[in-house]
Amino acid sequence: MFARQFKINFLRNLPISRYYPTYKRLLSASLTEGNVVVVQQPNGGEPLQFPSVWLRDNCQCSECFHDNTKSRQANWKRVNVESRIRSINGSHENNALTIDWQDDHKSTFTLAWLQDRDFAPTNRKRYIEEVYKPTYQLWAKSEFQNVLRTFEFKDVMTQDKVLLEWLESLAIQGFSIIKNSPHNITVVRQLADRIGYIKRTTYGIRSKVQRQRT
Q: In what order do the strands lie in the sheet with 96-101?
A: 85-91, 96-101, 106-110
Residue 70 has pLDDT above 90, yes or no: no
Buried/exposed 26-62: b ≥16 CB within 10 Å, e otherwise: ebebeeeeeeebebbbeeeeeebbbebeebbebbeee
In this structure, the strands spanning 177-179 and 150-152 are parallel
Residue 157 CB: number of other CB atoms within 10 A?
A: 16
Condensed to tens digits (0 to 9), the pLDDT of residues 71-92 reads 888 777 777 777 889 999 887 7
Cβ atoms of 108 and 60 closer than 8 Å: yes
Q: How far apart are CA 43 and CA 40, in angstroms?
A: 9
pLDDT at 10: 46
Sequence spans of domains, the chain: 28-130, 133-195
Q: How far apart are CA 26 and CA 43, in angstroms?
A: 9
pLDDT at 22: 43
At the second CATH level, the architecture of 28-130 is 2-Layer Sandwich (3.30)
Condensed to tens digits (0 to 9), the pLDDT of residues 12-38 reads 554 444 444 444 556 788 888 778 899
| pTM (2 d.p.) | 0.54
